[in-house]
Chains A and B, each alone.
Chain A
Amino acid sequence: MPLLSKVDAHPHVFIVQRLNLVFDEKGLAGIKVRWKMDDMFASMIAEDHDRNRNGTLEPDEVQSVKENAFIFIKEFNFFTFIKIGSRPFQVKFIRDFNATLKNGRLVYEFFIPCHVSAGDAYKKVSVSTYDPSYYTAIFFAKHNPVSLTTADAFELKTAIREDPDTKIYFDMIHPWTLFMEFRKKA
């Protein structure tokens, strides 16, 4: 039975994500999140919110998606668990939510403001994205999972790997996490 219990997989929604790290003159300004939802979830959302059935989402339909098929995850930190150093940063709000539907493919995009000033020493920030109940599985995209915006003034190291300090889904999964370190260029 322990063997059986290890063969365990239960997500119903699958997301492939790309993160864009946005910098300003002081340091990290926030993270732009791009989630490509799985096709079955996409068809469910299209069915409910693409009211004129034209295969795309107009602004009022995007608002409907936000209010009925997105904002509820606010309760779960928008599935984004950030640590600045070792200190958790609560994601209480997001900006610029958008949902696009094209050829049956649904993409959610939103911006998480998270200001971390850069100094002479490296600052460490980690970003784990997961659904605590594991109803949703979130994977980093195979190609270009992380990109940078206006980061020229900073030295930056990034790595994506499992976070051994975080365990979800019956302690069986270490979520994939983006680890970054940055400082001002000398």
Chain B
Amino acid sequence: MSAHAAKKCQLRLYIAGSTPNSARAAENLSAALDRVDGSREALGLEVVDVFAAPRRAVTDGVIVTPTLIGLHGSGRTVLIGDLTDTGKLHGLLRSLLAPA
């Protein structure tokens, strides 16, 4: 898997403006990307603010915020919440880095 191909946005974080849960999720994700080696370089991150782009929430099937979606091939892993559960967050990042 080339780094270039992996850059094709494998992580999407849906937040609701700067609400406390969303702000915390953004911070926690940023910290995790620093902690998990190579993740920031390998995984492309798109942050979607549902207040700014509400139609994305409906089309992408986002029910709650914050929601982190990890895309891998045809499947996707959904992690909801403010990402304070670092164990689950790191696990998700690692599974995306691991070769299919």
Q: Do A and B bind each other?
A: no
Interface residues in chain B, defined as those with a beta carbon under 8 Å from any beta carbon in chain A: none
Which residues of A are in contact with B by a Cβ distance under 8 Å? Answer: none
